[in-house]
Amino acid sequence: MLLQPNTLPIALTLSIILPLTAQADVFADRLGQTDLYNATIEHAPSDGVVKLYGAGGPHTAFRQVADVWEEMTGNTVEVVAGSEADWTADAQADADILWGTAEQAMTAFLLTYPAFDHHEVEPIYLRPAVIAVKAGNPMGIESFEDLLADGLTIIVTEGAGVYNTSGTGVWEDVAGRLGNLNDISQFRSNIVAYALGSGASYQQFVDQDADAWITWPNWPITKDDLEMVKMSDERVIYRDVSVVISPNADPEAQQFLDFLITDEAQEIMATEGWQR
C-alpha cells in the first residue's frame, strides 16, 4: 500500500532534508576558489610603497588625496585601478590595501585575496546613483521619470553574475524604488546595452550615442562629454566604497587610510561626489 505524503516515515523525511542542509554555500567555503586566485603567489606587501588596488571610479579622487599625502610625508602611494583581471596577480603579491566600489563588489574581491580578513573591511565613503547624459542635455532629461519615455536609449552597468562591478543591480534598485512594476518594465524596454563595468558602460554610451546612463557622479564630473542629472530623494540609492588593509601591510598604509578620511581628504573626495 502506498503511503500518503503526510505519512512518510520520519527517517525517510530526514534523509531528504539533511543532504540539502549540508549543501549550504557561504563566503568562507569559497575563499581562494576563484578563477583568478593563484596559490603559488606569495603575499608580501611590505616593500616601503603603499599600494592600493580596486575597480575604476574612486581611483581619481584617491590619487588626488595621495598626492597631498605624499607631499606631506614623503611616502609613496601607488593607486592601481581597472579590470581586476589586469591587476590581480600583482595585488595578490603586494597589495597593502584593496578597495571595493560596493559591498557586494568587496565581498567578491575578497574571495580571490584570502590574505585579507573580511572582518577588517571598513566602509569609508558613499555616493548616489545619478543619470549621466550628453553634455548640454539635448534630450532635456530632468528626472528618472523622463527615462521611461518611449524611444529613449539607456545604458546600464550590470555584472550579470559574471563580472564584479559596483553597478550590479543598481538600475533595478532605482527603477523599483517606488514599488511600481511598470517602472521597471518600461525602463528595461529602453535599455540598449548591459555593460560589464563602468568603463565599458562609458564606451557603450559613446559608441551607441545613447541618451542616458545610470552611473555614479565621478563619471560625469570627470568627463567633458557628459553632464550629470541628479535623482529625487525618493528615487536615489547609494553604494559605498570600502577598504581593507592587509595584515602584512607597510605601516604607512594604515597612516594613509587614516588620512583618507580626514577633513582635508573629505574636501578632495567631495569634488567627485564622495560623501561621508
Is 223 domain-assigned? yes
Q: What is the pLDDT of residue 24?
A: 65
Q: pTM of the entire structure?
A: 0.86
Residues 99 and 134 occupy one common structural domain = no
Residue 149 lies in a domain: yes
Closest by Cα among 32, 34, 168 to 101: 168
Q: Are 201 and 77 members of one domain?
A: no
The predicted-structure confidence for 216-261, as pLDDT tens digits, reads as follows 999 999 999 999 999 999 999 999 999 999 999 999 999 999 999 9
Whether 103 and 176 map to the same domain: the answer is no
Q: Same domain for 146 and 205?
A: yes
- Cell readout for 186 is 518600461
DSSP state of 190: T
Q: Has residue 15 been placed in a domain?
A: no
245 and 110 inside one domain: yes
Q: Are residues 166 and 224 in the same domain?
A: yes
Q: Is residue 104 part of a domain?
A: yes
Measuring CA to CA, which residue among 109, 141, 270, 133 is closest to residue 206?
A: 133
> Mean pLDDT, the chain, as a whole number?
92
Q: For residues 143-167, give the mean pLDDT.
A: 93
User: Domain of 144: which CATH number?
Assistant: 3.40.190.10
Cell of residue 164, nine digits: 564584479
Q: Does some domain include residue 134?
A: yes
In this structure, the answer to whether residues 145 and 73 fall within a common structural domain is: no
147 and 96 within one domain = no
Q: 72 is written with which cell numbers? A: 606631506
Question: Rounded to 5 degrees, what are φ and ψ at 79?
Answer: -110, 115
H or E element, residue 156: strand 154-157
Residue of higher predicted confidence among 8 and 129: 129
In the chain, how long is the greatest CA-to-CA distance?
Answer: 85
Q: Is residue 10 part of a domain?
A: no
> Is residue 2's pLDDT more than 90?
no
Residue 275 counted as domain residue: no
Q: What domain range includes position 156? A: 130-236
Number of helices (H), then strands (E), belonging to the chain: the values are 11, 10
139 plus 122 within the same structural domain: no
Statement to judge: residues 190 and 137 lie in one domain:
yes
Would you say residue 21 lies in a domain? no
Q: At what angle do helices 251-260 and 263-270 cross, to 10 degrees?
A: 70
111/143 same-domain check: no
pLDDT of amino acid 23: 61
Q: Are residues 120 and 250 in the same domain?
A: yes
Tally the domains of the chain: 2
Of how many residues is the chain composed? 276
- What's the N-to-C CA distance of the chain in angstroms? 68
How many Cβ atoms are within 10 Å of 153's Cβ, its own excluded?
17
